Amino acid sequence: MKDFAALFNAIDQSTKTTVKVAALADYFATAAESDRVWTIAIFSGRRPKRAVTTTRLREWAAEVADIPLWLFEEAYPIVGDLAETIALVLPPPDQTSDLGLTHWINTLRALTDVDESARKVVVLEAWRSLDPTQRFLFNKLLTGGFRIGVSQKLMTRALARAAGGDEAEMAHRLMGDWNPAEVTWHSLIEADDPAANASRPYPFYLAYALEDEPEILGNPKDWQAEWKWDGIRGQLILRDGQHFVWSRGEELMTDRFPELARARDFIPDGTVLDGEILAWGDGIPQNFNALQRRIGRKTVPKKLLRDAPVILYAYDLLEWQGQDIRDTPQRERRTLLEALCKGLPEDAPIKLSPTVAFHDWTALAQARSDAREAQAEGLMLKRRDSPYLTGRKKGDWWKWKLDPLTIDAVMIYAQAGSGRRANLFTDFTFAVWNGNDLVPFTKAYSGLTDKEFRKITAWVKKNTVQRFGPVRSVTPHHVFEIAFEGIQASSRHKSGVALRFPRMSRWRHDKPLQEANSLDDLNEMLKTYG
């Protein structure tokens, strides 16, 4: 655990990529092999399940620290992190431990098999033997909320340096449904065939947002344009007579979209498609609202399968006839994909995502303006000679999204943030006018600078009308422009509408309270874009 704590400190205390990569590479070269595997797992989201409720942890920590629970509860929101609050209030350890990360992970995994009294004994014994940083990390793993400033890209770069491999190869090795309790460092990182299974997806290629006009990209003939769909990015894998569906977030979603099982009837083994999972009806993609009913469901009832069927709108071919073809130029992958999709029957759950024809950038800009009518968010631009790379790379793939929808709204509630923003009010509820009343319709917590958050925090403290636990009702005064990607009807909200990806785009110091938008304005937007 000392090595893992030292790694955490090295990463946490620096913002430089080179420092973080060097610390990770040194750790992967010297730490115990099982600890290396668990570190990879933790940094990529494969954490042990929570075995103790946060309520019990707060009670036990207050008891060990010999302070009243109410005092702990007062300290918690000030610190902003439960694991850190516990580590800070506990007395110094009265013993030491040289046990490694794997031991403590196995200790946490075993807690699910014992009763609460036995869990308490184990947790308190750990607190007695770990120093403050190690306690903090143990608590993070215990609560299942471990987050650290290490991207998958940084980790694969460090692994490539430590193991002498290629970054893209390392990224591919870490994909899929591997279990850190069952694989070894050798099988995962070093072996020629690292316990590969038929379900393993490829790392997704991600695009950068195009902030300038497309003319900066050069000759339009070098580029392919497609609609940027508003669905779930996914890979459909057909290998060994089976099919697998993976989301961009590395979540196996095969059972959630049973319609895609029919792909095995039409598409040969050894094929991997990249595309967008979309709700489909009347021969066209449906908006995200229709797909949202399917998200989060482990099983899908027959009625929902009928009401919101899905397809994979394929826009890239990554594996063909069992061969990885990601290094093949985009134009050639597209030709193969078109030939594959040309032979599919009309009712197949796989369809070819069309390209958008254009002869110059002006024509493409005009096509982009019609994106919402096509149920799209904008355009994707892909260089025709580009390979399919790993992660977010600048130069060959760009997303040219539509400008967001906006509405001016009044802030009426505020709540403090967490972590480094625990002392700032960062989470706000906004309202629009309905006659002479303000009706809440959305929440937003991003879009302002730290300076603006500090300024609004000072104002909230002076203008609180009422408190509802951590939430403060404030005097209606400030108007903010709220940006969002979509709008839909919602019976769960008093306003009758719900926004997609709302955020604060600017603080309207220039606009008086009375000039904020109304519920009628929202309903007009719902008619147009909902």
pLDDT at 420 exceeding the cut of 70: no
d(CA 351, CA 259): 13
pLDDT in tens, 54-63: 899 999 999 9
pLDDT at 136 exceeding the cut of 50: yes
pLDDT at 317 exceeding the cut of 60: yes
Last-in-domain residue among 401, 420, 446: 401
Tell me if 230 is assigned to some domain: yes
Quick one: pLDDT band at residue 351, thresholds 50, 70, 90?
A: very high
Judge contact between 304 and 264, C-beta under 8 A.
no
| Pair type for strands 471-474 and 405-416 | antiparallel
Judge contact between 28 and 150, C-beta under 8 A.
no
- In one-letter notation, the amino acid at residue 223 is W
Judge contact between 386 and 330, C-beta under 8 A.
yes
d(CA 254, CA 316): 19
Tell me if 187 is assigned to some domain: no
Pair (209, 317) in one structural domain: yes
d(CA 42, CA 344): 41
Mean pLDDT is lowest, of 62-71, 150-159, 216-225, 394-403, for 150-159
Pair (314, 458) in one structural domain: no
* % pLDDT > 90, the chain: 49
pLDDT of residue 196: 57
Last-in-domain residue among 341, 373, 401: 401
Q: How far is CA 402 from each of CA 102, 137, 226, 248, rounded to the nearest angstrom?
A: 47, 42, 14, 22
pLDDT of residue 372: 86
| DSSP H helical ranges for 66-192 | 69-79, 82-89, 101-110, 116-129, 132-143, 152-163, 167-174, 185
pLDDT in tens, 352-378: 999 999 999 999 999 999 898 888 989
Pair (391, 309) in one structural domain: yes
CATH number at residue 493: 2.40.50.140
| DSSP H helical ranges for 144-228 | 152-163, 167-174, 185
pLDDT of residue 61: 92
Tell me if 150 is assigned to some domain: no
List the beta bridge partners of residue 429.
413, 443
Pairwise pLDDT comparison (125 vs 193), residue with the higher score: 125
Torsion of CA 218, 224, 225, 231, to 10 degrees: -130
Tell me if 197 is assigned to some domain: no
pLDDT of residue 438: 94
Q: Quick check: helix, strand or coil at residue 302?
A: helix
CATH number at residue 367: 3.30.470.30
Q: What average pLDDT does the chain have?
A: 88
d(CA 304, CA 119): 42
The angle at the Cα of 231, spanning 228 to 235, to the nearest 5 degrees, equals 90
Pair (255, 213) in one structural domain: yes
Pair (282, 363) in one structural domain: yes
Greatest extent of the chain over all pairs of C-alpha atoms, in Å: 74
Pair (312, 230) in one structural domain: yes
Judge contact between 484 and 400, C-beta under 8 A.
no
Judge contact between 477 and 430, C-beta under 8 A.
no
Last-in-domain residue among 339, 373, 401: 401
Tell me if 177 is assigned to some domain: no
Tell me if 75 is assigned to some domain: yes
pLDDT at 208 exceeding the cut of 50: yes
pLDDT of residue 283: 84
How many CB atoms are closer than 10 A to CB 515? 11
Give 395's DSSP letter: S
CATH number at residue 44: 1.10.3260.10
Pair (417, 522) in one structural domain: yes
Class of residue 82 by CB neighbours under 10 A (exposed 0-12, middle 13-18, buried 19+): buried
Total domains in the fold of the chain? 3
Pair (250, 361) in one structural domain: yes
How far from each other are the two terminal CA atoms of the chain, in whole angstroms?
A: 52
Query: Which residue in this structure is represented by tokens 């309790």?
Result: 181
Rg over alpha carbons for the chain, rounded to the nearest Å, is 26
Query: Which residue in this structure is represented by tokens 């990182």?
Result: 189
Judge contact between 312 and 351, C-beta under 8 A.
yes
Q: On the CB side of 231, how many CA atoms lie within 13 Å of its CA?
A: 31
Judge contact between 409 and 442, C-beta under 8 A.
yes
Pair (134, 240) in one structural domain: no
Residue 140: both structure tokens together: 């993070």
Quick one: pLDDT band at residue 195, thresholds 50, 70, 90?
A: very low
Tell me if 329 is assigned to some domain: yes
Pairwise pLDDT comparison (172 vs 424), residue with the higher score: 424
pLDDT at 224 exceeding the cut of 60: yes
Sequence-distant (6+) residues with CB within 8 A of 62 are 68, 69, 71, 72, 89
d(CA 149, CA 15): 9
Mean pLDDT is lowest, of 3-17, 279-293, 452-466, for 279-293
Pair (427, 354) in one structural domain: no
pLDDT at 465 exceeding the cut of 60: yes
Judge contact between 327 and 387, C-beta under 8 A.
yes
Pair (393, 412) in one structural domain: no
Q: In terms of residue numbers, what domain contains 94?
A: 2-143
- In one-letter notation, the amino acid at residue 255 is D
d(CA 150, CA 94): 32
Quick one: pLDDT band at residue 82, thresholds 50, 70, 90?
A: confident
Pairwise pLDDT comparison (483 vs 149), residue with the higher score: 483
* % pLDDT > 70, the chain: 97
pLDDT of residue 419: 63
Summarize the confidence of residues 72-96 as an average pLDDT.
Answer: 85
pLDDT of residue 194: 45
Tell me if 196 is assigned to some domain: no
Give 496's DSSP letter: S
Pair (362, 233) in one structural domain: yes
Size (the chain), residues: 530
* For helices 33-43 and 101-110, angle between their N-to-C axes, nearest 10 degrees: 60
